[in-house]
Amino acid sequence: MYGLVALGYHVTWATSRTLNFSQGHVVMVGAVVAYAVHVAAGWPLVIALGVTVIASAAFGLVVERVAVRPFFRTGSPVWLLSTIALGIIVENVAMLTFGKDARAFPSTLALKPVFVLGAGVYPQELLLPVVGVALMGATQLFYHRTFYGRQLKAVAWDSEAAGLMGIDVPRAVAVAYALSAVLAGVAGVLLAPLLNVSPTMGTLIGLKAFAVAIIGGLGSAAGIVVAGFLYGLVEALVAGYVSTGAREIVGFAVVIAMLVVRPWGLGGARPARRV
Amino acid sequence: MSLLDVRNLMVSHGQIEVLHDVSLAVGEGEIVAVIGPNGSGKTTLLRTLAGVLRPRRGTIALAGRALAGEPAWRVVRHGIALVPEGRRIFADQTVRANLELGAVSHGHLDGLDAAIARFPALRERLDQPAGALSGGQQQMLAIARGLMARPRVLLLDEPSLGLAPRLVRETFEVVRGIRAEGVSVLLVEQLAALALEVADRGYVLDRGRIVAEGAARALAADPRIVRAYLGQRSARGVSSGPECQPAP
């Protein structure tokens, strides 16, 4: 379930070598918007999904424009703080408009558990990895098989040379941010029925997704999805056999170990020396 | 009027002024060399013409259209392509993808065959990662990629850098071939004597100012310029063999 959000980190990293640290908040925005349209206003879920996609893409564009672009050209790492700041602002806006309380997001797929190998899971929980893998495949195809995707890769490799080719670099980065936010927003809609919808729901998800992105390798979509599965599995095992308190400890300990042993991640390539 | 017309260009990096009042021109179908010692601002000049850097003052006009201050991705659409120093190829993508990226500015990929015909060494390697090419092949790829943009003026920054003498000669043959097809070339080069052999006209850039200009032969024959700028470098590596005679 973290894989999808983590994939969003990969998308902006792969284009601009920057990250949107409000990625978790985009999950929340996605869930809140879907709640407002589907539950509160009573519109069909398909429309709610559509509105969420548009809203998260717009949020991604705002993040890029306000928190990243001013610092991208100078190569300054200020985007790290400014994207976090924007996330906090959004969280507070949600507090004021949506309210502090968590609200349930009813879904027919999260009513009755089905039993898989003796374990009870909601169909909604099975939907997540399916959508995750599908979106990962789509992202990979986009980056490697389409001309625009290869332009984004060129921007990632050498943004100045990409500009010399005629690639509109600021626009390419904006597209990546929109795409990344859409992934997180969709994850928010999928997660809403499992968790409750609240302004703070995204913070921990964003953090864990970042852990997953590091474990999987920021440069590798496949590595991230695999790491997303493993991370969820380990969390469930630790929570089940040890304690829920130990869950986060183990998770983030793995990240630190990973950074020491294999900083480029499970699926990432050892960084090649540029010739 | 010249095809590329640059007047009173002033460029600074932060507080430091790198180019002071540089004016130059490149005519239709002309090869123009800019020579000068390290740190004189040659690379800054090309990067400014390509739109990577913004000039503080001055004008850049291509066929009468003002381009100073436009971003690089727009400048290349108007017909100025820079082959940057150090090649800057996309090493993680295939040779073919690199060539295709060269055509982003207009989107027509039909120049690929012509590019391969000009650089046969790239043909067998089209689907290999560009990072696997040798230095000479990477330079060829960088030039081919620049030509994919269908420029009217090709800016070449130190094409001989790091190449063996034989490859340097090949590169300069390529420059002549490019001109033969009607593309003007503005060449910045450390190997000044060699650059003047291939060029029609030359400029000497020293500490951010044009200190001499004229027909390439005249510059190469001027004893003051030979002493100050052509001295040791002309002897390094590349002999002026018969294949290096100036174009007739």
Say what the pLDDT of residue A269 is.
66
Averaged pLDDT for residues A191-217: 88
Using alpha carbons, list the distances in angstroms from residue A55 to A103, A131, A187: 20, 19, 13
Specify the residue for token string 């997001």. Answer: A105
Between CA B107 and CA B104 the distance in angstroms is: 5
Between CA B218 and CA B206 the distance in angstroms is: 18
* A-contacting residues in B 169-228 (Cβ below 8 Å): none
Higher pLDDT, B247 or B225: B225
- Which residue intervals of A106-220 are DSSP H helices? 123-145, 147-157, 159-165, 169-191, 201-216
User: For residue A168, which residues of chain B lie inside 8 Å, CB to CB?
Assistant: 73
Say what the pLDDT of residue A272 is.
53
Please determine, for residue A121, whether its predicted confidence score (pLDDT) is greater than 90.
Answer: no
pLDDT band at B48 (very low <50, low <70, confident <90, very high): very high
Instruction: Pick the closest to residue B95 from B46, B42, B148 (CA basis).
Output: B148
Between CA A165 and CA B106 the distance in angstroms is: 10
pTM equals 0.83
Q: CB–CB of A272 and B100 under 8 A?
A: no
Say what the pLDDT of residue B101 is.
96
Averaged pLDDT for residues B154-170: 91
Q: CB–CB of A165 and B149 under 8 A?
A: yes
Residue of B nearest to A157 (CA): B90
Contacts of B160 (CB under 8 A, 6+ apart): B168, B171, B172, B189, B190, B191, B194
The token pair that represents A133 in the structure block: 């893998």
Using alpha carbons, list the distances in angstroms from residue A72 to A51, A101, B88, B144: 29, 37, 19, 29
Q: CB–CB of B90 and A161 under 8 A?
A: yes
A101-138 residues labelled b (16+ CB within 10 A) or e (exposed): eeeebebeebeeeeeeeeeeebebbebbbebbbebbee
Please determine, for residue B119, whether its predicted confidence score (pLDDT) is greater than 70.
Answer: yes
Q: Are strands B184-188 and B31-35 parallel, antiparallel or unpaired?
A: parallel
Q: What is the ipTM of this complex?
A: 0.87
Please determine, for residue B241, whether its predicted confidence score (pLDDT) is greater than 60.
Answer: no
Averaged pLDDT for residues A119-125: 78
Contacts of B25 (CB under 8 A, 6+ apart): B2, B4, B5, B6, B32
Q: Which helix H or strand E contains B187, and what residues bound it?
A: strand B184-188
Q: Which of A35-39, A200-204, A243-247, B219-223 has the lowest mean pLDDT?
A: A243-247
Q: What is the mean pLDDT of chain A?
A: 86
Say what the pLDDT of residue A17 is.
84
Say what the pLDDT of residue B242 is.
41
State what percent of residues in chain A have pLDDT above 90: 29
Averaged pLDDT for residues A100-113: 80
pLDDT band at A231 (very low <50, low <70, confident <90, very high): confident
Q: Is B130 touching A (CB cutoff 8 A)?
A: no
Q: CB–CB of A165 and B105 under 8 A?
A: yes
pLDDT band at A275 (very low <50, low <70, confident <90, very high): very low
Q: CB–CB of A157 and B91 under 8 A?
A: yes
Using alpha carbons, list the distances in angstroms from residue A238 to A129, A225, A233, A243, A262: 20, 20, 9, 6, 23
Averaged pLDDT for residues A219-237: 85
Higher pLDDT, A58 or A272: A58
Q: CB–CB of B101 and A160 under 8 A?
A: no
Averaged pLDDT for residues A54-68: 92
The token pair that represents A27 in the structure block: 């999950």
Q: Is B115 touching A (CB cutoff 8 A)?
A: no
User: For residue A153, which residues of chain B lie inside 8 Å, CB to CB?
Assistant: 90, 92-93
- β-bridge mates for residue B186, sequence order: B32, B155
- Counting Cα atoms < 13 Å in the Cβ hemisphere of B177 gives 15
Q: Is B121 touching A (CB cutoff 8 A)?
A: no
Instruction: Pick the closest to residue A102 from A21, A35, A22, A173 (CA basis).
Output: A35
In the DSSP assignment, the letter for residue B109 is: G
Please determine, for residue A168, whether its predicted confidence score (pLDDT) is greater than 50.
Answer: yes
pLDDT band at B71 (very low <50, low <70, confident <90, very high): very high
Specify the residue for token string 């399916």. Answer: A130
Between CA B135 and CA B147 the distance in angstroms is: 19
Say what the pLDDT of residue B91 is.
93
User: For residue B72, which residues of chain A lie inside 8 Å, CB to CB?
Assistant: 160, 163-164
User: For residue B52, which residues of chain A lie inside 8 Å, CB to CB?
Assistant: 160, 163-164
Please determine, for residue A206, whether its predicted confidence score (pLDDT) is greater than 60.
Answer: yes
Q: Are strands B31-35 and B201-206 parallel, antiparallel or unpaired?
A: parallel
State what percent of residues in chain A have pLDDT above 70: 96
Q: CB–CB of B77 and A158 under 8 A?
A: no
pLDDT band at B195 (very low <50, low <70, confident <90, very high): very high
Specify the residue for token string 């502090």. Answer: A100
Q: Does residue A101 sit in helix, strand or coil?
A: coil
Q: How many CB atoms lie within 10 A of CB B39?
A: 12
pLDDT band at B234 (very low <50, low <70, confident <90, very high): very low
Q: CB–CB of B101 and A169 under 8 A?
A: no
Averaged pLDDT for residues A93-114: 82
Higher pLDDT, B192 or A236: B192
pLDDT band at A16 (very low <50, low <70, confident <90, very high): confident
Please determine, for residue B230, whether its predicted confidence score (pLDDT) is greater than 60.
Answer: yes
Between CA B245 and CA B216 the distance in angstroms is: 13
3-state helix, strand, coil split of chain B in percent (to 5) is: 40, 25, 35
Between CA B11 and CA B68 the distance in angstroms is: 11
Please determine, for residue A227, whether its predicted confidence score (pLDDT) is greater than 70.
Answer: yes
Nearest to A275 among B82, B91, B93 (CB): B91
Say what the pLDDT of residue A242 is.
81
Between CA B188 and CA B49 the distance in angstroms is: 12
Specify the residue for token string 């000039």. Answer: B55
User: For residue B135, which residues of chain A lie inside 8 Å, CB to CB?
Assistant: 275
Say what the pLDDT of residue B1 is.
67
Please determine, for residue B247, whether its predicted confidence score (pLDDT) is greater than 90.
Answer: no
Say what the pLDDT of residue B239 is.
42
Instruction: Pick the closest to residue A182 from A13, A1, A51, A36 (CA basis).
Output: A51
What is the phi/psi pair of residue A132, to 5°?
Answer: -60, -50
Please determine, for residue B50, whether its predicted confidence score (pLDDT) is greater than 90.
Answer: yes
Residue of A nearest to B146 (CA): A165
Q: What is the mean pLDDT of chain B?
A: 89
The token pair that represents B203 in the structure block: 């400029």
* Residues B201-213 pLDDT 10s: 999 999 999 999 9
pLDDT band at A253 (very low <50, low <70, confident <90, very high): confident
Q: Which helix H or strand E contains B4, and what residues bound it?
A: strand B4-13
Number of Cβ pairs < 8 A linking chain A and chain B:
72
Nearest to B84 among A151, A161, A169 (CB): A161
The token pair that represents A121 in the structure block: 């899971």
B47 within 8 A of B188, measured Cβ to Cβ: no
* A-contacting residues in B 49-88 (Cβ below 8 Å): 50-52, 71-73, 76-77, 81-82, 84, 88
Averaged pLDDT for residues B17-41: 93
Averaged pLDDT for residues B38-49: 93
Residue of A nearest to B148 (CA): A165
User: For residue B81, which residues of chain A lie inside 8 Å, CB to CB?
Assistant: 164
Q: Which of A173-177, A253-257, B50-54, B80-84 has the lowest mean pLDDT?
A: A253-257
Q: CB–CB of A157 and B93 under 8 A?
A: yes
* Dihedral sign computed on CA atoms, order B40, B43, B48, B52: negative
Nearest 5°: CA angle at B152, between B189 and B220? Answer: 30
Q: Which of A265-269, B180-184, B242-246 has the lowest mean pLDDT?
A: B242-246
**To probe the interface with A, which of B67, B88, B137, B156 has the most A CB atoms within 10 Å?**
B88
